[in-house]
Amino acid sequence: MNKFDISVHFYDLEAYISKSSKSLGYNDMLNLMSEGKLILTNSGDVQKETFWLKVLCITLRENTGWMEAVELGANFLVGYDTNRIVSTVKMLTNDEHVRDKIKKLPNPYGNGRAAERIVEFLLKYSNQDSTGKFISC
C-alpha cells in the first residue's frame, strides 16, 4: 500500500502509457480526457479543456490564467505540496456531488460565437454586407 492510501481507480493507464510509443494527437487527447473523472495537470490548455469537457481538474501550479474555473469550483489550484494534492484528490473522489455540480456550471468563457460577432462587426464598419459586397455610403 502506498504512503497516501489513495483508492482511485486509474483503469489501465499505466499499461496504456507503456504501450504508447508516441504522443497523442489533440483529438485523441481530448477523447482520453473526456473519459476522465479527475485530471491533474500543470498545463493551462488542459485546465480550460477540462472545464469545457466538464471534468474536474487539479492544477499543480501556484497560479493560473484561468481563475474563472477555480472560482466556480471546477479547477482546484493546489500548487506543488504533496499533502495538498493528495487531500484534494481524496476530497474530490469521495464527493459524489462535486461531479454533478461541474456539469451545471455556467460557461464563463463565452458562447462560442466570438468569430461570428467579429465578422459582423468588421462588415458593419467596412461598409460591406454579409455577401462581401460594398455598400455605398
Give the start-to-end residue ranges of the domains of the chain: 13-106, 112-137
pLDDT at 130: 60
Element (H or E) spanning 62, and its range?
Answer: none
pLDDT at 8: 46
Q: Output the pTM of the full model.
A: 0.69
C-alpha–C-alpha distance, residues 16 and 84, integer Å: 27
The DSSP call for residue 12 is: T
pLDDT at 18: 58
**Residues of the chain falling short of pLDDT 50:** 1-2, 4-9, 11, 137
Options 3.65.10.10, 3.40.50.9100, 3.40.50.2000, 3.20.20.80; CATH for 13-106 is 3.40.50.2000
Element (H or E) spanning 39, and its range?
Answer: strand 38-41
pLDDT at 81: 93
pLDDT at 23: 77
Residue 70, C-beta contacts closer than 8 angstroms, at least 6 positions apart: 59, 64, 76, 77
For residue 108, CA distances in Å to 70, 72, 105, 137 come to: 11, 9, 9, 39
Instruction: Say which residue the cell 504501450 belongs to.
Output: 19
pLDDT at 103: 86
